[in-house]
Amino acid sequence: MEGMMDKAMLDDIIRRLLEGKGGKQVQLSEGEIRQLCVNARQIFLSQPTLLEIKAPIRICGDIHGQYQDLLRLFEYGGYPPSANYLFLGDYVDRGRQSLETICLLLAYKIRHPDKIYLMRGNHEDAKINRIYGFYDECKRRFNVRLWKIFTDCFNCFPVAALIDEKILCMHGGLSPELEHLGQIKEIQRPTEIPDSGLLCDLLWSDPDARVGQIVIEVVEDGYEFFAKRKLVTIFSAPNYGGEFDNAGALLSVDESLVCSFEILKPVLPASTSKLILKKPPKAGKI
């Protein structure tokens, strides 16, 4: 088992990653990235498959390689460890900087394991990110071997989180097979994502009011309520893929489990460093 990275090395990696603004690629070595994957994998396996987390916490949805928008989220919500974060998955694919995105999050996870939590999305799956961009980015900038190391790490991510025994979070949605939360705790890792069953549903069954229609799962306002406001979906990649004029959202849960949303409006590429935000009214408990 590879030894844990020391704090000085992690702080240096984080510093270099945070300097990568304006779309500039951050030059990490293959060895550094490998250490991030191996060390984070050990931490993921030391924590439960169903995370049990205390509020206050900030919750983020899909990032999809939009690294500049991830930095905007941290600029607004606070950089770890000044704020606690739960990310719901889909860090890679489609965006131009999947490597910077996942490397910064893994570095923060290793440096502050009880301040930032990363859940698995359906794109943290070799079958999916082999097609939608992450494989190609790894191959172009490094090699296929590094992509396989990421795959080993992704197979160990937790798949759900429970906040103060009240708010259940997952990347996709509920499953008809889910009868009690103990079933999630029993999911063994490392694991690939199967084509059906409980784990597949937790990562793939997105809620949608437009049943029977073919839809692209981008939330226009960054969040959307379902089931009489008992269920909310969060999407944190504004101007998704450069093709949608959608906003991104950050959900803040305070100590009393009151939820509020911060909205990241899309910005033009030439002004990605500019932070444009608005705060809608508090949504109440969910």
Pairing of strands 85-87, 116-118: parallel
Output DSSP code: residue 235.
B
Please, are residues 161 and 49 in contact by the beta-carbon 8 Å criterion?
A: no
Identify the bridge partners of residue 86 per DSSP, sorted by sequence position.
59, 117
* Cα–Cα distance measured from residue 2 to residue 212, given in angstroms and rounded to the nearest whole number: 49
Is residue 64 among the annotated active site residues?
A: no
Backbone angles phi, psi at 251, to 5 degrees: -100, 120
* Cα–Cα distance measured from residue 240 to residue 221, given in angstroms and rounded to the nearest whole number: 12
Residue 281: is the preceding peptide bond cis (ω within 30°)?
A: no
Helices 7-18 & 98-111, crossing angle to 10 degrees? 150
* Cα–Cα distance measured from residue 150 to residue 162, given in angstroms and rounded to the nearest whole number: 26
* Cα–Cα distance measured from residue 187 to residue 155, given in angstroms and rounded to the nearest whole number: 12
Active-site residue among 64, 123, 171, 180? 123
Provide the residue type at 45 as one letter: L
Nearest CA among 72, 253, 53 for reference residue 163: 53
Please, are residues 2 and 33 in contact by the beta-carbon 8 Å criterion?
A: no
Task: Report, as residue numbers or ranges, the catalytic residues.
Answer: 123
